[in-house]
Amino acid sequence: MARLVLKFGGTSVANLERIRNVARHVKREVDAGHQVAVVVSAMSGETNKLVGLCREASLLHDAREYDAVVSSGEQVTSGLLAIVLQDMGVEARSWQGWQIPLKTDAQHGAARITDIDGSKLIERLEKGQVAVVAGFQGVAPDNRIATLGRGGSDTSAVALAAAIRADRCDIYTDVDGVYTTDPRIVSKARRLERIAFEEMLEMASLGAKVLQVRSVEMAMVHGVRTFVRSSFDDPDAPQLGAGGLPPGTLICDEDEIVEQQVVTGIAFAKDEAQISIRNVADKPGVASAVFGSLADANINVDMIVQNISPDGRTTDITFTVPESDYDRAFAVLRDKKDLIGYQAIEGARDVVKVSVIGIGMRSHAGIAARCFQGLAEKGINIRAITTSEIKISVLIDSAYTELAVRTLHSLYDLDG
């Protein structure tokens, strides 16, 4: 017998028919003798609808009331699933975030979890009751509902799994696992049976959309084994697969991965923009003025390249920001022109960041060189480069996205 947390996203609970399908997945685990807690998102499209109503009511709405409105989608889903489970003969009860309680900080609309008391849930689970928990929400220090930001149900599920000491957290979604890259780009992309927490964190932060970044961070910190699988698989199909698991991808500690490939996957992010500041005086404090100003405006900077002129007097600084912050970043830097002292500022939106990821890169030389050579042979120019122990990221023109991803996928023997 195991203690499991099952999380179902919006597409998995989009209507009553799909909610009944979800209930069959839950019942299967209950019938197998497992203790089960379920975390659900709002029905597909419901959160967007509620956000739109808030904006229509007032563009400058109170964040606390916004949370009261948008959190209602998960409340509806949790109640409906509990009703369907009861109708199937499964003892179930819905829970809202404040009932657990799942405590958050005071940042309404984008709250972070500070504590979860899982004792009440554990008591109910041990008595055989299924807990159906509304994801995406908790209770803030002001005793009001606080939401965790978009994708927060994944984070709710992993945090809950840690709090109740679950053996595994199963994330049911509309894909059947984590792939070496986007199968829509590379038809030979293959599903990974296992991937290390660090690799999944890089994949999620560098463009893979399977899991929310914060949920992977939390899983890694608390050692929560997380299993990504499809909610559209037949709930009554045999649950057989690698290591006794059904089809899907297990995210776990690297010690659980017996045979680790050098490169695990290729990720890409299209929501990047490049900014270049030309002919800046090469003196102490300039970089601080540039990136400090952007930080004060809450704009994240990713890749940074600095080129010093032959005479050593001036430098060019190139970096990337989220595409959604491009105009705002330009405005901030124009306002700070006298402080920074640059001669010109340029930018580009038609760029993409492509990343090569793998824990095996730590112990193998020449991985970066193969990447650069492979792209050069295809005539793909690299605008910027960043590296870490387990990843290489290059910034290229967006027109070459598919060619670059396919080239690197084949180059590192990831084709299925």
* Angstrom distance (rounded) from CA 380 to CA 403: 9
Residue 95, amino acid: W
Q: Which two tokens stand for residue 176?
A: 């059947």
* Angstrom distance (rounded) from CA 301 to CA 294: 8
SS3 at position 146: strand
| 291 known member of a binding site | no
| 353 known member of a binding site | no
In sequence order, the 6+-apart residues with CB closer than 8 A to the CB of 223 are 253
| 271 known member of a binding site | no
| 174 known member of a binding site | yes
| 209 known member of a binding site | yes
| 173 known member of a binding site | yes
Residue 316, amino acid: D
| 184 known member of a binding site | yes
| Strand pairing class (265-281; 344-357) | antiparallel
Q: Before 235, cis peptide (omega within 30)?
A: no
* Residue with tokens 């952007």, as numbered in its chain: 294
DSSP letters spanning 284-312? TTHHHHHHHHHHHTT-----EEEEE-TTS
| Strand pairing class (384-388; 391-397) | antiparallel
CB 384 within 8 A of CB 338: no
| 47 known member of a binding site | yes
| 191 known member of a binding site | no
302-307 long-range contacts (CB < 8 A, ≥24 apart) are: 302/272, 302/353, 302/386, 303/353, 303/384, 303/385, 303/386, 303/393, 303/395, 304/384, 304/386, 305/384, 305/385
Cα 271 to the center of its chain, rounded Å: 14
Q: Is 323 left (phi over 0), alpha (psi -120 to 50) or beta?
A: alpha
CB 7 within 8 A of CB 151: no
SS3 at position 236: coil
SS3 at position 36: strand
**3 state SS for 164-232:** CCCCEEEEEECCCCCECCCCCCCCCCCECCEEEHHHHHHHHHCCCCCCCHHHHHHHHHHCCCEEEEECC
- Binding residue ranges for ATP: 7-10, 173-174, 179, 184, 209-210
- Binding residue ranges for substrate: 47, 74
- Binding residue ranges: 7-10, 47, 74, 173-174, 179, 184, 209-210
